[in-house]
Amino acid sequence: MKILSDERTKSVFEKLAKFIGGNIKLLIDRPDGKYCFREHKDRVYYMSQAILDLALSCNKEQLICAGTCFGKFTKTNKFRLHITALNYLAPYAQYKIWLKPSAEQQFLYGHHVLKSGMGRITENTPKNQGVVIFSMNDMPLGFGTSAKATADCKHADPIAIVCFNQGDIGEYIRNEDTLI
Amino acid sequence: MDILEDILQKEAKKSEKYKTTDVEKNVELELDLGNLLALDTNDLNLQELKSHKEKYLLNLARDNTQLLLNKLWDLPSERREDIVVAKLPAGTLRLPREKPCPKPKPLTKWQEYALEKGIKKKKKTNAVWDDIVQKWIPRFGYKKAELERQKDWVLEVPGNADPMEDQFAKKAEKKKEKVSKNEFQRLRNIAKAKKIKVPKEGLPSVANPSSDLLNTAAKVARVSTASLGKFQPKLPKEKTLKENVIAPKRVKRDHSKISSIDEKSSHLKIIDSILGKKPKLDIEKAVNRQVFQEQHE
């Protein structure tokens, strides 16, 4: 359990800001307790003070994970967000895409979102913006990057990619080993 | 008449099974009873030696042993646990040396100095009375170390010292330095005794150095600058390893508490800087809005 260095904290926050914008402050400044980000073996975890105390009482080599894993740092020190962070991204998401029931399956298998599968999209979504993807029942399915702005989406072909899949809850089954 | 009887007795004895205990020799044997040694300097009978060698030598040995044992019976005897034991005198034979005589060792620096000043070694007692614990504690060793650790459960911070300094670590560091200094001086004494020349600084030169030795030498040379090798230009094929620089000691940070003020504020600052990077005028957004408006017109 290490405190993140300044550069690493910056890269984590930048990534999170892409999806939840200014709401990151709500993650740090919570009224119901002290929460923090900690790093262990290049993975970033988000946990409360209580969990942190427990984690610090463990042997470093034997600790697997503590709190919620938000993502990990690659060998070249780039931060990659994992699907396990979805629970914290979804409520604070600024830009959302809703999928039609027919397209849900395809998305959960790891494919990108096509225009034909897209139900709704928030207004004024710029291009290359981090979006969180929901089903029609407002259940978070994953997150990704918008390939087109909202306006462009309306003119697009039905088979054009509208959003790139960067994480979906199907990964819990597909990439079981690599999530932790 | 008596002489006749004596001769007859002797003849009778000779014909007995066992040989006589009287043995006649031209030259008396040299007996070293302490070492159970009998030295016979009589000439050998060459005729008998050639004809019946084994038999002659056996008889000779038997006679000599008989003489030795005769003398042994004459020694004062004791009785120990139902056994009669003869008390042997000290041996007189002096065995020659197996190894050459040891050469006198050259005196160490301290010994020379002590000799010069006339300092004699004071005999010290094994145990020392300790008033605090009210016990006899050995002068050195694990028991003393244990006691010292107990007595030094708290160390005062001296007036002129930095309050954040770790006094225990300082003490341990001092001890380590002392031990290593002692070791260095011991090795230096050995080198002086063996007449091996050791340079005052740096590594000693070797005829055929291995690659490990050369790497160590390069490392030592690199670090032997005022800035401890930090600004030393790299050699063409030198590997820059972390060990090449003597890094300053890292202060261990306490990660257990989420320091509410420092961490949170720094995080918020970072967030502000990130969010503040976005231009006030988002061109993309403006363009999209324009397009959207046009579509709805």
Structure tokens at B33: 């009873």
Task: Test B258 with A25 for CB contact under 8 angstroms.
Answer: no
The average pLDDT across B38-47 equals 89
Q: What is the mean pLDDT of chain B?
A: 84
User: Which residues 191-230 on chain B approach chain A with CB closer than 8 angstroms?
Assistant: none
Give the pLDDT confidence of B52-72 residue by residue, as tens digits: 999 999 999 999 999 999 888
Minimal Cβ distance to B255: which of A3, A9, A154: A3
Instruction: Report all structural domains of chain A as residue ranges with CATH numbers, in order of start.
Output: 2-88 (3.10.450.220), 93-174 (2.30.130.10)
The average pLDDT across B216-236 equals 83
Low-confidence ranges of chain A (pLDDT < 50): none
Q: How far apart are the C-alpha atoms of B243 and A19, rounded to whole Å? A: 42
Q: What is the least distance, in Å, from the CA of B292 to any CA of chain A?
A: 6
Q: How far apart are the C-alpha atoms of B215 and B222, rounded to whole Å? A: 10
Task: Test B288 with A21 for CB contact under 8 angstroms.
Answer: no
Q: How far are the Cα atoms of A16, B95, B218 from residue B234, in angstroms, in the given order?
A: 41, 67, 11
CA angle in degrees (0–180, nearest 5) for B88-B90-B91: 105
Task: Test B267 with A28 for CB contact under 8 angstroms.
Answer: yes
Across B93-107, B111-125, B156-170, which has the greatest mean pLDDT? B111-125
Q: Is the ipTM of this structure higher than 0.90?
A: no
Chain A residues inside the 8 Å CB shell of B284? 126-127, 149
Q: How far apart are the C-alpha atoms of B228 and B179, rounded to whole Å? A: 23
CA proximity to A91, closest of A130, A134, A123: A134
Mutate which of B251, B267, B291 to test chain A, going by most A C-beta atoms within 10 A?
B267
Give the whole-number percent of chain B exceeding pLDDT 70: 88
CB pairs under 8 A between A and B: 65
B274 pLDDT more than 90: no
The reported pLDDT for the residue numbered B76 is 87
Task: Test B270 with A10 for CB contact under 8 angstroms.
Answer: yes
Identify the three-state secondary structure at position A83.
Answer: helix
**Which region, left, alpha or beta, applies to residue B117 given φ > 0 means left and ψ of -120 to 50 means alpha?**
alpha
Tokens 């030393």 locate to B232
Chain B residues inside the 8 Å CB shell of A14? 274
Who contacts A101 (Cβ-Cβ below 8 Å, separation ≥6)?
A: A135, A136
Provide the pairing of β-strand A35-40 with A43-48: antiparallel
Q: How far apart are the C-alpha atoms of A102 and A56, rounded to whole Å? A: 46
